[in-house]
């Protein structure tokens, strides 16, 4: 554990954390800011949860848009990635003649949301299996061509897949769905604070994501971005549902805790310090070291080099079950995501953050080596 960096976080002593990508981790600085904001709100809830709140949320949304390089008029903060996805899926027009394509490496709740929406509308849902390990964009596009006949209305893709940690070839997939006459819906849950969101958002029509994974803010905070042609509204009909302003629409989903969203300025400021100090670059170097060490010990990568995210890597562990790996790591006070892939394979995902160091890496890789050698 990087003792200098761990002072920024409330992590328990002796715990090795490689599961940052699941829930993120609030920094002590942001936690203190959150406590200050909560005391302020409770000093006069009628004032601070009234019209003033929308103004403050608009300012925070603009700060996030600025750091991500987005048009603030097209973006809003929201509860989390799931609520943003629900808003998008509930808002896009679907009918009996519609076709939606979802990859089998997508997050399970997102796949389920499209299943429910398509069943309700009588639309066709096609789930396409992604070859794991993913070796080439050509192979993925060929599989899409084989499994998806005819026009497509929507293609649901993650910029970085969750359990398999694959940085998908979004520009090529955007071209593919455009050629089929459809729109790209992008899951960017693992992107903000981790990867840049390029201008035009890779040709996406709508994007949902999470800010509490890689920015050190309180959880939960999500984001939603859309092109002007998509009139996205919250899945819940609240007092601001009819607002012409996107931020205001999502500013009052009923009574809720606005503090995580109001902490974004503080979180962005600290994240920028880490970036300027080279700490995030160090995390990428540690992820590359983990990648090499895991393969040396018998794990298999989920994707070729071009598809590996900077600070998130996933591996196939042959001959073991997720339960065996979870038990081995838990007993050693190591936290990492372990689960089952779409084809039943055992997956281990490691995310590196500024509180990690080479000693942490030695602990997790040697533990995995023990499990694989049994």
* 246 phi and psi angles, rounded to 5 deg: -60, -45
What is the pLDDT, as a whole number, of residue 2?
59
Q: Which residues touch 220 (CB under 8 Å, ≥6 apart)?
A: 79, 80, 210, 212, 260
What is the pLDDT, as a whole number, of residue 374?
76
Q: What is the pLDDT of residues 134-183, one digit of tens each?
A: 999 999 999 999 999 999 999 999 999 999 999 999 999 999 999 999 99
E strands, the chain, in order:
16-17, 75-78, 99-103, 124-128, 154-158, 183-188, 206-210, 222-226, 300-301, 312-317, 334-335, 337-340, 346-351
Is there a common fold for 3-27+278-373 and 34-269? no
What is the pLDDT, as a whole number, of residue 143?
95
Domain spans of the chain, in order of start: 3-27+278-373, 34-269
Q: Which residues touch 34 (CB under 8 Å, ≥6 apart)?
A: 26, 218, 259, 260, 263
Q: What is the pLDDT of residues 56-113, one digit of tens each?
A: 999 999 999 999 999 999 999 999 999 999 999 999 999 999 999 999 999 999 999 9
What is the pLDDT, as a whole number, of residue 198?
77
Q: Per the omega criterion (within 30 degrees of 0), is the bond before 220 cis?
A: yes
Nearest one of 101, 87, 190, 201 to 147, comparing CA atoms: 101
Residue 51, Cβ density class (10 Å: 0-12 exposed, 13-18 middle, ≥19 buried): exposed
pTM of the model: 0.94
Query: Between β-strands 222-226 and 75-78, what pairing exists: parallel, antiparallel or unpaired?
Result: antiparallel
What is the pLDDT, as a whole number, of residue 199?
63
Residues of the chain short of pLDDT 70, as ranges, are 1-6, 199
Element (H, E) at 60: helix 51-68
- Structure tokens belonging to residue 28: 């002590």
Asked if residue 313 lies in contact with residue 287, where contact means CB atoms within 8 angstroms, the answer is yes
SS3 192: coil
Asked if residue 123 lies in contact with residue 99, where contact means CB atoms within 8 angstroms, the answer is yes
Q: What is the helix, strand, coil percentage profile of the chain, to 5?
A: 45, 15, 40
The DSSP letter of residue 11 is: P
Q: Does domain 34-269 have CATH number 2.60.120.260?
A: no
Nearest one of 181, 224, 180 to 206, comparing CA atoms: 224
Asked if residue 100 lies in contact with residue 126, where contact means CB atoms within 8 angstroms, the answer is yes
Class of domain 3-27+278-373: alpha beta
- Structure tokens belonging to residue 187: 């899951």
């Amino acid at each position: 554990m990087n003792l200098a960096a761990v002072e920024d976080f409330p992590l328990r002593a002796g715990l090795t954390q490689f599961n940052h990508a699941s829930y993120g981790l609030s920094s002590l600085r942001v936690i203190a800011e959150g406590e200050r904001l909560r005391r302020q709100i409770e000093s006069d809830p009628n004032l601070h949860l009234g019209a003033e709140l929308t103004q403050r949320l608009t300012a925070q949304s603009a700060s996030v848009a600025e750091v991500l390089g987005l048009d603030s008029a097209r973006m809003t903060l929201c509860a989390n990635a799931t609520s943003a996805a629900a808003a998008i899926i509930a808002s896009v027009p679907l009918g009996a003649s519609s076709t939606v394509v979802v990859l089998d490496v997508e997050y399970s709740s997102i796949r389920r949301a499209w299943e429910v929406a398509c069943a309700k509308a009588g639309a066709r849902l096609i789930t396409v299996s992604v070859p794991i390990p993913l070796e080439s964009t050509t192979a993925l596009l060929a599989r899409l061509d084989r499994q998806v006949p005819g026009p497509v209305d929507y293609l649901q893709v993650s910029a970085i897949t969750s359990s398999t940690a694959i940085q998908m070839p979004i520009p090529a997939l955007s071209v593919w769905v455009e050629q089929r006459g459809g729109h790209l819906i992008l899951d960017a849950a693992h992107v903000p604070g981790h990867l840049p969101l390029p201008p035009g958002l890779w040709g996406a029509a709508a994007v949902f994501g999470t800010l509490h994974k890689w920015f050190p803010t309180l959880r939960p905070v999500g984001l939603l971005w859309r092109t002007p042609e998509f009139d996205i509204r919250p899945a819940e009909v609240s007092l601001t549902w009819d607002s012409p302003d996107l931020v205001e629409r999502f500013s009052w989903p009923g009574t809720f805790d606005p503090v995580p969203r109001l902490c974004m300025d503080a979180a962005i400021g600290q994240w920028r310090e880490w970036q300027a100090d080279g700490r995030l670059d160090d995390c990428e170097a540690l992820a590359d070291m983990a990648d090499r060490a895991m393969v040396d010990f018998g794990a298999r990568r989920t994707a070729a080099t071009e598809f590996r995210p900077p600070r998130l890597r996933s591996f196939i562990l042959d001959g073991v079950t997720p339960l065996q790996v979870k038990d081995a790591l838990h007993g050693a006070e190591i936290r990492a995501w372990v689960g089952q892939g779409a084809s039943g394979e055992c997956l281990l995902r490691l995310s590196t953050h500024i509180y990690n160091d080479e000693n942490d890496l030695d602990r997790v890789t040697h533990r995995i080596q023990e499990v694989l050698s049994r």
